[in-house]
Amino acid sequence: MLDLTLTDITDILGGRLVLTDSAVAAGWAPESVVSGTVDTDSRLIGEGDVFVAKRGESDDGHRFVPNAVEAGAALVIVERESDVAVPQIVVPDSVDALGAFATEVVRRVRALGRLKIVGVTGSNGKTTTKNLLRSILERVGETVAPRDSFNNEVGAPLTMLKLTESTRFLVAEMGASGKGEITRLVRMAKPDVGVVLMVGLAHAGEFGGIETTLITKTEMVKDLEPTDVAVLNVDDHRVASMADKTAARVVWFGLGERAEVRATDIDASAIGTSFTLHLPDGSSSPVRFGVLGEHHVMNALAAAASAHELGVPLDVIVAGLESVTRAERWRMEVMGGGDGVVVINDAYNASPDSMASALKTLAQIARPDQRTVAVLGEMSELGPYAVEEHDRIGRLVVRLNIARLYVVGEGARALHLAANHEGSWDGEAVFAATADEAFDLIQADAREGDVILVKSSNSAGLRFLGDRLAEAHS
């Protein structure tokens, strides 16, 4: 974070500075400078950091103010006072204050004239694209990007607050569960390059349908200026329709001839995907991409297009792409293999699009002597589309000739029923009520050469089943 006095921060937040007697005795004054990391998790607070006490649905961060102070917090931002020996700024709403804080820090760093911002959104692929961009851009200059999937009204500002005077690039992952949320994040840190990856059914239940999802994702590019760049997926007709809704110059990425940044000669295997990258200036280069799954090539193209627009040379782009060997923890993560059983743990998130892509990858990469096994759980937040989409995935499993299917949890029951109806199988599709039950069933039937895909939404918890299976076969 930038070096700021307590008075500076109080003015930015529109709050009230409170210095208890014990804080004054400890040497704190309005002109004292704070420069530590800002976080809402007291467990991550260290010496000199800033703790923001946020009220949640099931807990209240104010309970952890003493823990944060004990861990070394130099400042706490709260909605009600505590009796602590460090300064505290009292605000009406800590989340709003966090957004105001981030907006001003971005403004100050931008005023120095070096900072470039890339905003990334889409129904799938945001975190992978963000990681690829970080790998590329940090080779050129100091780069700030989110940890994990910090892309909402709390996570995005926390990332922005990591900016320093020497930061050259900010990669801002911008997610949403409803209209206006991406606009809010864009107005905190308006991108020089705005990326839209795809518009699908992820979170469709929260959005209220695919058309609302389209409107919401369009927020990424609608406020861009003619000097900015919109990096759009030409192969997704919904994303392509955004070209008429932005003043920015459009750069297309995709696999077809219309794409200005595209991939040819794609070859997917169990160790990654190779392809030839083509840029708008006519240059091209082979890429040995270690992230598993042909669908991740689109994320690589989006990252390459963005970096190219920021002036990054082709060889640096390729080096950045090739250095990333997994999308993220629990995202197409190849594990196990010690006894000939490979586990692909992709159970951090799931939508109909990402589920279909993962299953196609499983079918594509297995050798003829390997058996394909899919362990699938619920795709959450689909609302009225839930039964239909689970049904579609169950039928896809059969059509891809996946050898064995384990469906875990009542929320995915429709997937199991659809697979049976589609294939008239005799025991190839198995239902397990719990992850423990599934583990026992899978282990009893596992054989050397199996390639096991574990895929579900985060809420289904199958990522831990994937870890457990990988450990058993390490």
Q: Is 123 annotated as a binding residue?
A: yes
Do the annotations mark residue 126 as ligand-binding?
A: yes
Whether residue 290 contacts residue 324, with contact meaning beta carbons closer than 8 Å, is answered with: yes
Residues pairing with 451 in the sheet: 342, 372
Distances (CA, A) of 193 to 180, 186, 311: 19, 11, 12
Is 265 exposed, middle or buried (CB count within 10 Å of its CB: 0-12, 13-18, 19+)? exposed
- CA–CA dist 162, 158 (Å, integer): 7
CA distance 113 to 101: 20
Distance CA 132, CA 125 (A): 11
| 61 assigned ligand-binding residue | no
Q: Is 127 annotated as a binding residue?
A: yes
Backbone angles phi, psi at 430, to 5 degrees: -120, 135
Q: Which residues contact 325 (CB under 8 A, 6 or more apart)?
A: 272, 290, 291
Residues 6+ apart with CB under 8 A from 386: 205, 379, 411, 414
Is 212 labeled as ligand-binding?
A: no
Pick the closest to residue 178 from 203, 159, 196 (CA basis): 203
**What is the rounded CA–CA span in Å between residue 225 and residue 241?**
18
Can you tell me the distance from the alpha carbon of 222 to that of 218, in angstroms, rounded to the nearest whole number?
A: 6
* Maximal C-alpha separation, the chain: 77
Spatial contact of 389 and 421, defined as CB atoms under 8 Å apart: no
Say if residue 124 carries a ligand binding annotation. yes
DSSP 63: G
Alpha-carbon gap, residue 454 to 448, rounded angstroms: 17
**Helix, strand, or coil here: 220?**
helix
Residue 125, annotated as binding a ligand: yes
Backbone angles phi, psi at 399, to 5 degrees: -65, -25
Query: 3-class SS at 255?
Result: coil
Residue 262 φ/ψ, nearest 5 degrees: -145, 170
Rounded Cα distance between 385 and 391, Å, is 10
Question: Contact, 441 vs 373, CB < 8 A?
Answer: no
Is residue 389 within 8 A of residue 203, CB to CB? The reply is no
Helix or strand holding residue 211 (H, E): helix 210-222
Instruction: List, as residue ranges, the binding site.
Output: 122-128
What residues form the annotated binding site for ATP?
Answer: 122-128
